[in-house]
Amino acid sequence: MSVERAAFITLHACPLAAPGQGKSGGMNVYVRQLAAALGNLGTQVDIFTREHACVANRIETIGPNVRVIHIKAGEPEAHVGELYAHLPEFLEQLNEFKEEEGLEYDVVHSHYWLSSWVGRELSQAIGAPHVVTFHTLGLIKMQSRAGEVEQTERPVVEAEVMASADRIIAFSAHERDAMARLYNADANKVSLVPCGVDLSVFKPLDQRSVRDLLGLNGEKILLYVGRIEPLKGLDLLVEAAAQMDTGESVRVIVVGADANDGQELGRVKQLAKERDLEDQIDFVGQVNHSDLPLYYNAADVCVMPSYYESFGLVALESMACGTPVVAARVGGLPTIVQHGRTGYLKSWRCPETFANSLEMILSTDGLQQSMGEAARKRAEGLGWDNVAAIMSDEYDSLIENAAQSAQGEERDEPASLTANAAKDDNKC
């Protein structure tokens, strides 16, 4: 049985925003794809997001049973750091829209800490279970890389919502354990549900043809895909590339735009210059999500040198295209990349060890192909339809629990009413 109506709250990550630039990335992709797959199962999903500068229509239908509804809260250009102050306004406007349309929801699913505040208030007001996916957590980010700064309200709201939510979705056991350790969350309320990938889009293609399309020649290609920000650790890839010695020419392709003011991109470009790699690195900027299979297929290896990834959709997309991944052993990446089978996981942020693993894949006969085949096989279990079915079961179990508690309360009520009636009789 699929849930009839779900409200998704994704205050700052509009599923219509192009991922790979600014603050738009994996969360935007996740919300869109999960909602679409739930819609295909028959659940009506309304995705509530903030009205922002690029909104064309207030309400957009983006697939069977799925709508995106833009809610006004703060100036459309407001930065994510300013949005905490606008949460009550967002909630009020959302409630107004809901009342006007006579909408009811069986479950509220919120994404990220800002949305979780709204999700908690909404779920309590309408008496529906609250499911929350944090995507990243403030305290984990701050522990992962010196220099990460977070709003003071963030860990407070995260802890409060962990205490009040009916179900917390984590992408990995690492994330679940960190919630228990850092926020005192009840691990029994945490369910592990992975991210998914669109297997019909991200699939193996003929490498030579896609290289021709992208204007690439026979060089070995290392690929980075993602927003460019310090937490992604792109400098480590530059340092590793500078250390490599395969006897063949190696090119690094960097897909994605700077997440902030261009500072990190500038820093990485400067480093490439200092390492004499300027001619071997292409910064191609943001690429449409649907065009990314070309890049993953053109590449020999995809590299994820991040300080932290709660999941790491890029690794899964690469693997679905049959391209091995060399990644930092952080966050959710070990749940996707199988060390020595679909790529390598590196425990140390050390250019030499990354360079060794990259050389190994590029230089060992048959290794790239066997890892690529194992990678695709591993990804095949993580299509969005599978992930949505697991999520739908999570919703069902919560709704069933809520119905059972309500029945229990009803059963108790007549007894007390009878007792009161008897007392009243006695009074007469």
* Window 277 to 296, contacts with ligand UDP (CB under 6 A): 286-287, 289, 292
Options 25-33, 51-59, 79-87, 369-377: segment touching ligand UDP (CB under 6 A): 25-33
Place of tokens 């996707």: 336
Span near ligand UDP by CB under 6 A; candidates 270-278, 312-320, 355-363, 401-409: 312-320
Q: Determine, following the binding rule CB under 6 A, whether residue 196 of this chain makes contact with ligand UDP.
A: no
Residue 312 engages ligand UDP in binding (rule: CB under 6 A): yes
Binding residue (CB under 6 A) for ligand UDP from 29, 114, 170, 371: 29
Residue closest to ligand UDP, measured at CB: 25
* Residue 225 touching ligand UDP (CB under 6 A): yes
Q: How far is the CB of 354 from ligand UDP (least distance, A)?
A: 18
Q: Which of 6, 13, 16, 19 binds ligand UDP (CB under 6 A)?
A: 19
Out of 226, 230, 331, 343, the residue judged to bind ligand UDP by CB under 6 A = 226
Torsion of CA 313, 54, 65, 196, to 10 degrees: 0
- Determine which residue in the list 25, 39, 324, 383 makes contact with ligand UDP, applying CB under 6 A: 25
**Dist. CA 29–CA 98, nearest whole Å:** 25
Extract the tokens encoding 303.
């590299």
Query: At residue 250, what are phi and psi to the nearest 5 degrees?
Result: -120, 135
Name which of 254, 258, 259, 220 is nearest 355 in CA terms: 220
Stretch that binds ligand UDP, among 103-111, 223-231, 269-277, 355-363 (CB under 6 A): 223-231
Site for ligand UDP in 236-265 (CB under 6 A): 255-256
Smallest distance, Å, CB 327 to ligand UDP?
A: 10
324 in contact with ligand UDP (CB under 6 A): no
Candidates 106, 175, 317, 359; binder of ligand UDP (CB under 6 A) is 317
The size of the interface with ligand UDP (CB under 6 A), counted in residues, is 20
Q: Which stretch binds ligand UDP (CB under 6 A): 21-29, 73-81, 99-107, 417-425?
A: 21-29
Q: Which is nearer to ligand UDP, 250 or 313 (CB)?
A: 313
Specify the residue, 129 or 233, whose C-beta has the smaller distance to ligand UDP: 233
- Which residue, 152 or 288, has its beta carbon nearer to ligand UDP? 288
Spell out the SS3 assignment of the chain: CCCCEEEEECCCCCCCCCCCECCECHHHHHHHHHHHHHHHCCCEEEEEEECCCCCCCCEEEEECCEEEEEECCCCCCCCHHHHHHHHHHHHHHHHHHHHHHCCCCCEEEEECHHHHHHHHHHHHHHCCCEEEECCCCHHHHHHHCCCCCCCCHHHHHHHHHHHHCCEEEECCHHHHHHHHHHHCCCHHHEEECCCCECCCCCCCCCHHHHHHHHCCCCCEEEEEECCECHHHCHHHHHHHHHHCCCCCCEEEEEECCECCCCHHHHHHHHHHHHCCCHHHEEEEECCCHHHHHHHHHHCCEEEECCCCCCCCHHHHHHHHCCCCEEEECCCCHHHHCCECCCEEEECCCCHHHHHHHHHHHHHCCCHHHHHHHHHHHHHHCCEHHHHHHHHHHHHHHHHHHHHHHHHHHHHHHHHHHHHHHHHHHHHC
The stretch among 47-55, 81-89, 99-107, 311-319 that binds ligand UDP (CB under 6 A) is 311-319
Residue in 69, 122, 169, 314 binding ligand UDP, rule: CB under 6 A: 314
Q: Does 334 bind ligand UDP (CB under 6 A)?
A: no
Q: Between 149 and 428, whose beta carbon lies closer to ligand UDP?
A: 149
- Contact between residue 254 and residue 278 where contact means Cβ atoms under 8 Å apart: no
Contact with ligand UDP (CB under 6 A): which of 227, 346, 376, 378? 227
The answer to the question of residue 383 lying near ligand UDP (CB under 6 A) is no
Q: How far is the CB of 146 from ligand UDP (least distance, A)?
A: 19
Q: Could you identify the residue written with the tokens 């056991």?
A: 173
Judged by beta carbon, residue 121 or residue 158, the one nearer ligand UDP is 158
Residues found near ligand UDP in the complex (CB under 6 A): 19-20, 25-27, 29, 225-227, 255-256, 286-287, 289, 292, 311-314, 317
